[in-house]
Amino acid sequence: MLTPKLQMLERTLKRLIRRGASQPLENVLAKAHAADLGYLLPHFTNNEQSQLIAYAGDDERRAQIIAAAEIDVAARLLEALPRDRAVELLQYVAPDDASDLLQQMSEEVADELLQRMRGEERDEVEELHRYDSETAGGIMSPRFFALNRDMTAAQAIVELQRVHDEMEMVFYVYVVNEVEQLLGVVSLRQLVTTKPETTLFELMTSEIVSVEPDEDQEEVAKIASRYGLLAVPVVDDANKLLGIVTVDDVIDVLREEATEDILRMAGAGDELAEQEGVLKAALSRAPWLLIVAVGGVVGAALLATYSTRFASFIPIVSLVPFVLGLSGVIGLQGATVMTQRMLVGRLGGRLWPSVLSQSVIGLLLGVLFGALCGLIFWIWNAHLSAGPPNGLSLLGASAALGAAVAAAMTLAATVGALLPTVFHRGRVDPALAAGPIGAIAVDLLALLAFLALGSVWL
């Protein structure tokens, strides 16, 4: 999934490392973007990674490259370095990123690195450590630009020039009172385009959207996105400003959560990073599979019960994978469409029309594929001398089977569409409806409908 440009960069770097060509390696590294190098890091072996870092300019740039990599890749790389080197690089990483990196390491290493960090930076990181890493407090930066309400625009600009180097991203000036309570916000542009003697208090917007430090990071991202904010202030319950969540963190959260949602839907929760180990992955999947297994046993009981009826006419039982395959897919589609509509706030008061339209889609496709199934059944068995049971004609039996398939698919589409709402009302994550639990529920009901109708009609 690399662009041609990145593929070329990867190949060049690998070749230069293999040849031990240190001068050309330094040149190529100096010209490449730190973000590209960080993105490519997992494509190199541990040994190659150390070489890349060693030849990549100064420590500030090394830290940029590491911070640009996926968090677990970066943490593993830092863990592999001598402790004092790791600490030197960590000093250049923004406190919120440094805090995340330490949380990805073994507790022992994290503690050792933290003890060796400089006082002020250690305090910042330890402050962030107090909050869960997936909350506003865990992802906020403690380096915001807050000024007293009585300052003028001109004074604020002087102050901005003074703090210049410490703050990477200044979008807003936060206006506070003597006890650091958040009063309002002034954009950098307002500051530049107003009369120099205006005070911040006069200039500021006091309608301000803020979050508490224990707010879920996904909620913070939604707020930033909905209100078009470049930074969301985080305040404690006395309205004291603690930090800001900036738009780059919001983008990271959105990307992270999109991936997490898809994995959670499949019942494969935290398996993106590989170092977790197969045993842990297997254990976390086992409960989902157990639910499916219980469903499978019920299915087996159903099939065993009905099989004795159909024993003389095996082709009906043979159609079970056909019915399960089609019902499973159409049920999954219904569940996915409804879940996504819920997530983007589309359903509103329109739940039932939405479910009904999924049922109609199920019915339309059920009739189509039921007819196909009946046709295939008819052709398949045309040569059989023994007719179907119950004295039905082969044509009648084919039609009955097709109708059973159509019914099963309509039911599957309806159940799939209903599950996310049922889950939501029962305080279960609706996304699970499009995963293993939803799949087995849809499978069982479709199987029951198919076998029950088949046994009545045939």
Contact between 228 and a second copy by CB under 8 A: the answer reads yes
Contact 83, 56 (CB under 8 A): no
- In SS3 terms, 23-78 reads as HHHHHHHHHCCHHHHHHHHHHCCHHHHHHHHHCCCCHHHHHHHHHHCCHHHHHHHH
Q: Which residues, including other chains, have CB under 8 Å from residue 195's CB and lie 6 or more apart?
A: 153
22 contacts a second copy (rule: CB under 8 A): no
Q: Which stretch in 37-45, 81-89, 109-117, 236-244 sits in contact with a second copy by CB under 8 A?
A: 37-45
Q: At its nearest, how many Å lie between a second copy and the CB of residue 22?
A: 23
Q: How far apart are CA 150 and CA 129, in angstroms?
A: 33
CA nearest neighbour of 263 among 255, 254, 271, 273: 271
Instruction: Name the residue nearer to a second copy (CB basis): 51 or 339.
Output: 339
Least distance CB 352 / a second copy (angstroms): 12
Residues 149, 152, 157, 161, CA torsion sign = negative
**Interface with a second copy, residue 427, by CB under 8 A:** no
In order of 7, 40, 105, the CA distances from 2 in angstroms are 6, 9, 28
C-beta of residue 181 within 8 angstroms of C-beta of residue 240: yes
Contact residue for a second copy among 447, 449, 453, 458 (CB under 8 A)? 447
How many residues bind a second copy, per CB under 8 A? Answer: 125
How far apart are CB 97 and a second copy at their closest, in Å?
12
- Per CB under 8 A, 28 contacts a second copy: no
Which 383-412 residues touch a second copy, going by CB under 8 A?
Answer: none
304 lines the binding site for a second copy (CB under 8 A): yes
How far apart are CB 378 and a second copy at their closest, in Å? 13
Q: Is 344 or 386 the residue whose CB approaches a second copy more closely?
A: 344
Is residue 1 within the footprint of a second copy (CB under 8 A)? Answer: yes
Residue 82 binds a second copy, judged by CB under 8 A:
no
Query: What is the Cα 400 distance to its own chain's centre?
Result: 44
Tokens describing residue 13: 């770097």
Residue closer to a second copy, measured from CB, 130 or 167: 167
Among positions 185-204, residues that touch a second copy (CB under 8 A) are: 188-189, 191-193
Which is nearer to a second copy, 9 or 114 (by Cβ)? 9
Among 8, 21, 30, 368, binds a second copy (CB under 8 A): 368
Q: Which among 177, 175, 180, 94 has a CA at the least distance from the CA of 140?
A: 94
Distance of CA 331 to the CA centre of its chain: 23
Told to check if 35 binds a second copy by CB under 8 A, we report: yes
Site for a second copy in 229-288 (CB under 8 A): 230, 247-248, 250-252, 254-255, 257-259, 261-263, 265-268, 271-274, 278-279, 281-282, 285-286, 288
170 forms part of the interface with a second copy (CB under 8 A): yes
Q: Within 307-336, which residues bind a second copy (CB under 8 A)? A: 307-308, 311, 314-315, 317-326, 328-330, 332-333, 336
Distance (Å, whole) CA 126 – CA 144: 17
Q: By CB under 8 A, is residue 360 in contact with a second copy?
A: yes
Which structure tokens are listed for 455?
A: 């046994």
Name the strand (E) or helix (H) holding 275: none
> Rounded to the nearest whole angstrom, what is the least distance from the CB of residue 4 to a second copy in the complex?
13
Residues whose CB falls within 8 Å of the CB of residue 277, separated by 6 or more in sequence, listed in order: none
Q: Which of residues 335-354 bind a second copy (CB under 8 A)?
A: 336-337, 339-350, 353-354
| Between 131 and 306, CB nearer to a second copy | 306
Dist. CA 261–CA 268, nearest whole Å: 10
Q: Does residue 376 interact with a second copy by CB under 8 A?
A: yes
Q: Which residue has the tokens 């070489």?
A: 51
